[in-house]
Amino acid sequence: MASKDLTLTSDWQQITDGTQDVQLQVLGGTIWLRDSAKKPTANAKGHIVSTMEWIGITSPQQMWGRSQGGNASIIVT
């Protein structure tokens, strides 16, 4: 997978579709991550990940992310 920069908002956004392993790094802000086959509800909570942390996501996880407040920047490789 080529690296891609994403800006997360308070709306859940799909980060991986479960077909490959990826590395995720939070570049700015704090995010929530949640493994779900479909988009989580607006009030769903997730695992909290802060700035500069690296997370390995392996298939078949279908990972969704959102910012904890405001916008958050991530890179996925």
Q: Is the pLDDT of residue 1 over 80?
A: no
What CATH code is carried by the domain that includes residue 60? 2.60.120.10
Please give the residue that has the higher pLDDT: either 51 or 6: 6
Cβ neighbour number for residue 57 with a 10 Å cutoff: 18
3-state secondary structure of 46: coil
The model's pLDDT over 13-58, given as tens digits with 9 standing for 90+, comes to 999 999 999 999 999 999 999 999 999 999 999 999 988 878 999 9
> Mean pLDDT across the stretch 59-72?
96
Quote the pLDDT of residue 77: 94
Number of separate domains in the chain: 1
Domain of 42, in residue numbers: 4-76
Please report where in the chains the tokens 């949640």 appear, as a residue. Answer: 34
Quote the pLDDT of residue 52: 84
